[in-house]
Amino acid sequence: MLVLGLIGVFSASSYRSLQETGYESATTYIVRQVVFAFIGTVVGLVTYRFKPDYFRKPKFRSGLLLVMTVLLLVVRFLMPAINGAKGWIILGPISIQPVEFLKPVMILLWADYLDRHRLAILNKGFFKTVKANLVLPLALFFWLGLVLTFPDTGGVLLLGLILGGMTLASGISSKYTLRTLGLGALAYVLVIGFLNLFDFSGSGDVNYRIQRFISFTDPFKVAKSSGLQLVNSFYALAMGGLLGQGPGNSIQKTGYLPEAHTDFIMAIIGEEYGFIGLFVILALYFYLTFYIFYRAKKIQNNFYQLVMIGVGFYFLSQAIVNLGGITGLIPITGVTFPFISYGGSSIMTTGIMVGLALAIDYRNRRMMLAQQLS
């Protein structure tokens, strides 16, 4: 998957690289992505070496809460808006997207929370247990609120899907889970409606989300402004047909589709390799995703199982939201496609997720083998 992603990034970013370097180099972005891929692989291997229970230590949990809160506050109040939204900590030539790292952090913290309070949730109910143990839920809501004001509705949507999926799979009453998800969805819509009235991002563009919504409902009506990306994504997929235009032959990447190498890379792959090319990539990707869920069913340790399920929902949610955006099924959210899209923070987060899944699966296999031998 990573190799396929590198091939896709090289093709999708080559024209932009040529423009930015005065037609001297087509490899600016692919060189960076190769470095990101190497770092992501190292991060994944380091994560794999850690025993997952280490992340449950009180000092480590407190450290994660503090670090993520500081990073999100820095983004919210100290960083400039880019393309109408905040989300990046810019350190010279390096930019870091804390929301990406928030995903594995929230998976670990929420899995630990559900496991530690499992009996109380089963006996007293979900809401009563949460009321009695408010520190982490309040921290999570505070983080989500900050992310919404960037604005990054896609990030909040993904985090909500991951946490909701983990809660639903934790064994608590589906009544409580569905009620929580319903209230969360209602709050999500109401808060977005409220935020649309004000410019919390500091970008000066109060209509940022409204324009995105209009471009979703009728992209061809605003094809020269906010609907530009979605319309050209449609063109890319339509021109690809069954077999595609051929490697490197995309037209939409030549200035028509601004984020060809990031959010819309799957549209470029569809244009160059057609439906068949997309099908191969998606088949591999969803095989990996559902294999993670399959392995999760065999895990006996409740905390391990919840983390593995969270990782599975991460991969599933990212793909659904990204593909929904480029095909116009849902509003564009700026969500990347794991393994495939350009971006250091994204690929490092993917490395962490794979490392967590491998670490848990390895230790579960050892536990099962020890039980068989005893």
pLDDT in tens, 230-249: 999 999 999 999 999 999 99
Give the global pTM: 0.90
Please report whether residue 159 resides in a domain: yes
DSSP state for residue 335 in the 8-state scheme: P
Going by pLDDT thresholds of 50, 70 and 90, the confidence category of residue 197 is low
Amino acid occupying residue 89: I
Q: Is a pLDDT exceeding 70 seen at residue 214?
A: no
Please report whether residue 240 resides in a domain: no
- The pLDDT value recorded for residue 70 is 95
- The pLDDT value recorded for residue 210 is 62
Q: Which residues contact 38 (CB under 8 A, 6 or more apart)?
A: none
**Residue 19 structural domain:** 2-229+253-268+283-373
Q: Structure tokens of 66?
A: 């503090």
Ranking 61-65, 173-177, 272-276 by mean pLDDT, the lowest is 173-177
Please report whether residue 248 resides in a domain: no
Ranking 40-44, 58-62, 271-275 by mean pLDDT, the lowest is 58-62
Q: Total structural domains in the chain?
A: 1
Going by pLDDT thresholds of 50, 70 and 90, the confidence category of residue 291 is very high
Pairwise pLDDT comparison (150 vs 194), residue with the higher score: 150
What would the mean pLDDT of 200-205 be, rounded to a whole number? 50
- The CA-atom distances, in angstroms, between 342 and each of 5, 61, 109, 115, 207 are 8, 30, 28, 35, 27
- Condensed to tens digits (0 to 9), the pLDDT of residues 302-359 reads 999 999 999 999 999 999 999 999 999 888 888 999 999 999 999 999 999 999 999 9
Going by pLDDT thresholds of 50, 70 and 90, the confidence category of residue 208 is low
Element holding 230 (H helix, E strand): helix 228-240
What would the mean pLDDT of 97-101 be, rounded to a whole number? 94
Please report whether residue 364 resides in a domain: yes
- The pLDDT value recorded for residue 185 is 64
Q: For residue 94, what are the β-bridge partners?
A: 91
- The pLDDT value recorded for residue 181 is 65
Q: Is a pLDDT exceeding 60 seen at residue 281?
A: yes
* Other beta carbons less than 10 A from residue 222's beta carbon: 16
Please report whether residue 277 resides in a domain: no
Question: pLDDT averaged over the chain?
Answer: 87
Please report whether residue 144 resides in a domain: yes
- The pLDDT value recorded for residue 370 is 84
